[in-house]
Structure 1
Amino acid sequence: MSDLGLDDLAAELADFAPAKKKQATYTAREERIIAGFEDIERFYEEHGRLPQHGEDRDIFERLHAVRLDRLRELEDCRTLLAGLDKHALLDRAAVVSMDEDDLDPDDLMAELSGLGEGDDITTLRHVRSAEEKRAAEEVARRDKCHDFEKFEPLFKQVKDDLANGSRITRPFELKAEIRPGAFFIVFGQICYVAEMGEVFTNPQGRTDARLRVIFDNKTESGMLMRSLQRQLNEDDAGRRITDPAPGPLFADKADDGEAETGTIYVLRSKSDHPVVAEHREVMHKIGVTSGSVEARISGAEKSSTYLLAGVEIVATYKVYGVNCQKLESLMHKVFASAQINLSIPDRFGHMVKPREWFLVPLHVVDEAVERIRDRSILDWVYDPNAGRLVEA
């Protein structure tokens, strides 16, 4: 055999070389589906379990649970993620079933903007398709945050603060709210303004500054302050996250110009469950809502939260200028000793333990509200043996 040159040898061996693997390309929709699924995988790896539904769960865990349910339902999503599902999450049985009434729509909209109504899991609630496209373009211009470990505890703390009510979200209003140390929710992601450069005047004669913005998906952007302002204004669900501040918890009337922010409600169940029937007159669900009570209890017969039965509104108390979630937590803490331990099957046959139901007379709830008004409630708890509030 004659000697072969390098080029000839390469040509001879080309037929035997393995075919090069074509790099997968994804549409913007597919990229968002994959990114959302990766967030669920990170939750699973961190906590060792699937995200679960329920009012006692963190708002972000509930969002992951809703997203996972939708991914399981959509066949094209299952096909797309088949080779990426390293923990077989799409085939695992959910521990607790989803009930839309367990998911406070105000929370989902205000904290994260939700998942939308239609079959398309990538459609954001209250966000137009053009804005969604622009959001995807903004994401594409972000870089990986190489020192994210410095910021990760901050994001965790903010999520904890939102869950316990020490922080809340408000609509974005002013450019002055964009400053170092501020947190926002834009197109469904939490972002943190880590740095702000020197303020300058742009060619249009407006002040601007270069920012370093960190996102909770471990990316960052060196966007301009006005770019972030534009995104927050264009996103109908764009929010600012307040700084933690105690502030007044409860007022018995609205101050001048202050809008009503919520209602404490007390409900009585119409369920024919033996335990409910026996204690109906003193068994109450106590909650706080930022919307109407009637809307909150709509469809109660289909929700395990309401014992899969209709409910009767027995008392309401208006609240002004308060953090509704924080107020609700306080009420539940006062009556914790009277919380009923009841398990019922939900509409899918899974056993669940409804929360927020207490064996407490209505007149004691009235007294608790009065003590909230005069700020003395922190010194009192409910004694189920005495059937009244006692000093802690």
Structure 2
Amino acid sequence: MPSDFTDDDDALLAELGVEIEQKKQVKRTPREERIIAGFEDIQKFVADHERLPGHSPDGDIFERLYAVRLDRLRELSEARDLLEPLDHQGLLSAPPAIDQSDDLDDDALLAELGVDIAPSPITELKHVRSAAEKKAAENVANREICKDFDEFQPLFEKVQRELDSGQRETRPFELKAEIEPGRFFIVHGQKAYVAEMGEVTLTDQGRTDARLRVVFDNGTESKMLMRSLQRALNSDEAGRRITEPLAGPLFSDAPEEGDDTTGVIYVLRSRSDNPTVTANRDLVHKIGVTTMSVEKRIAGAHLQPTFLMAPVDIVATYELYNINQTRLENLIHRIFDSARLDIQIEDRFGRPVVPREWFLVPLFAIDEAVQKIKDGTITQFVYDPQQAKLVLRPS
């Protein structure tokens, strides 16, 4: 019987021969206090919203933290032993939500979970991280000094001049598809340049991702994941993308005196037996830019995921002179982004890959886009997949 009585009550009960159970004062470690406090936050959320916290990428950041925290608390036996007496809502035994915790790959998240992220001496090992936590930690990209920053500094200076002159402007970041090589962003007050992008793959949750090389205007760089940059831009209220400069003629049909051939736009068709490709053979095109001969570029196509692991046919080429090839390729891909082919294949190692350079678009529309890039009018148009043609951009 708990001792909630006065001294007089205690004396009376003692006279009656009733033993009084004295409350024990439990001393908690700081770690246990943090775990309990974190669990109480989850309990309050459930009481306020009458539901468990969810992992939705569109949800409130704190709700997502609570969802991941609850998943981790369920996994940790020490946490369950500590919290089960306090779990009046049955949260520890409720079915877990779909785990999308890779969206929260930050040291701060581990701290929110009550996990010690500072290295501990071997003799004081307190926590062995789960596989999910290790994966989250691997996704945290640490910055390092950019050793070839002298090659990128002029780009940042040029972008600033173009912002000052109005040739470029900043706009709110909206879509992951905006993250491409050659694009500039502003995140946490710094300009960020996507210098490189690796092969696009699928996460365990079926979403696209790729490893980037991102260079910052303070002379550092990071090998972060595309989704990590997306999350950083979404979480930063001042996060912005920097638009491309206003387009002028990018190239001509013939070189002028002193010009050098710098690349070729190529359009390919695939011989893949993928059902989507075979059903739309005349519309499915790969559009790219190369500085080598197209024949060399497509050599071994059947071994490369970017070519759908199948031979290809060249259906059109456009020779370029004195242009920025990466910028031009990105421009073409953005024009036809609404018609980008959503297709997944396996590479030769059986890993799922989502190629990004294939589009469901007729050849005449590609040719029209190239002509409008030549004369500098392309910024006035967008591609309408319903009409299968370029239309004037809404004013």
What is the TM-score when the length of structure 1 is the normalising length? 0.41
What is the TM-score when the length of structure 2 is the normalising length? 0.40
